[in-house]
Structure 1
């Protein structure tokens, strides 16, 4: 078997050296420019995620949703903890909440302008979850639970998933909003809306997971 592995490795090595590089023929044509022209957004990454490989992105959102549900399922049989580890000194609390405020502003920027500059829905959602986490380690768990229920965050998360799937399927079937002018805030068809919905879904899902870990484990 070792001889077969060696022969296969040598054959692959010779193929790399001998066979022509097919990508060299595309040197005059920028793939990034093609994606930007096709999607109508300067951020080619957002264009690829929410158009060229939107089918994969749908399942990424579904997998994230299942992961959040899995956290609740795994912790459902545990008893809530009576000890929650949080910042108690005032300087740490002030710095954490300042960081949460800055991160929340970054979240908004990444979600709204993610199709124009580096960023996007997933990055915005992670930033939003970070902001919520910083608030959670400086506030009482009861307060976080009340705020979560007051804004119906669990329902809003489920609605955001449904909206994303509906809008994504419409885009895949060829139903698109006008691309507008390249580089403007209102442009790129449905990509900006998909960015915002994903950011909302990831942030709310992170909030749900944070509350569960605080309730049952006392920390993240």
Structure 2
């Protein structure tokens, strides 16, 4: 049977060398310009994620939420560790907290202006989670958990998922707000709000996962 696979591989290779690739009748720039115009945002990627394929994005948010719940479920039967591995030397702590500050600012920037420049809700959430992770490895784990419980972060995280799904469902039903002037901060209709909701949701979800790994594994 091996000679069949060899012949098939050679045939495919010859096909790639001889037969030309079909070209589309429209240009790539025309597609991008169409997305930007319809969505009302300068960042075409945000237009695709929160407009053209919003249905998929809803389930991406849901899958991330399930992943956070799954981490808690898998670690629920383990005993909390008494040893937490953290930075102890002063230079590392200062650099980590400086990095956390910079990353947090970048997260806010990506969340607010993600529809205008490269970035968006998911990238902002990753940056926010990174900032929290840097704080977690330089601060008391008890303090991090106390803040998490005091501000009911878990409740806010789940509430944001529900709000995002409701707004996305309303958008998919055909309701829309004016997109505004292209290139301005208040443009893109509901897309900036969805961006911010995703950014906060991913940040808070990352916070929950980080606390679970610190509590049960002692490290990130």
Normalising to structure 1: TM-score of the pair?
0.93
Match of 1:148 in 2: 148
Q: Which residue of 1 aligns with 2:11?
A: 10
Q: CA deviation at 1:150?
A: 1.5
Give the 3-state SS of the residue equivalent to 1:26 in structure 2.
coil
Matched, 1:132 2:132: yes
Q: 1:7 to 1:28 in 2, by over 3 A?
A: closer
- Residue 215 (structure 2) pairs with residue 215 (structure 1): yes
1:111 positional shift: 0.1
Question: In structure 2, how many angstroms separate the alpha carbons of the residues matched to 1:187 and 1:13?
Answer: 50
Matches within 5 A, 1:64-79: 64-79=64-79
SS at 2:117 equivalent = coil
Gaps spanning 5+ residues in structure 1: where? none
Q: 1:178 to 1:76 in 2, by over 3 A?
A: same
Q: Aligned pair in 2 of structure 1 residues 20, 206: CA closer, same or farther (>3 Å)?
A: closer
Verify: 1:122 aligned to 2:110, yes or no: no
The answer as to 2:200 corresponding to 1:200 is yes
SS at match of 1:84: coil
Distance 2:189 2:15 in 1: 46
Name which of structure 1's ranges 162-171 and 119-128 shifts more when overlaid on structure 2: 162-171
Q: How many residues align?
A: 219
| Aligned equivalents of 1:28, 1:60: Cα separation in 2 | 26
Aligned residue in 2 for 1:62: 62
CA distance in 2, matches of 1:173, 1:13: 48
Whole-angstrom CA distance in 2 between matches of 1:125 and 1:199: 4
2:188 partner SS? coil
Shift of 1:16: 8.5
Please report the TM-score for the alignment, with normalisation by the length of structure 2.
0.93
1:129-176 per-position Cα deviation (integer Å, ceiling 9, x unaligned): 000000000111110001111111101100110011111111111111
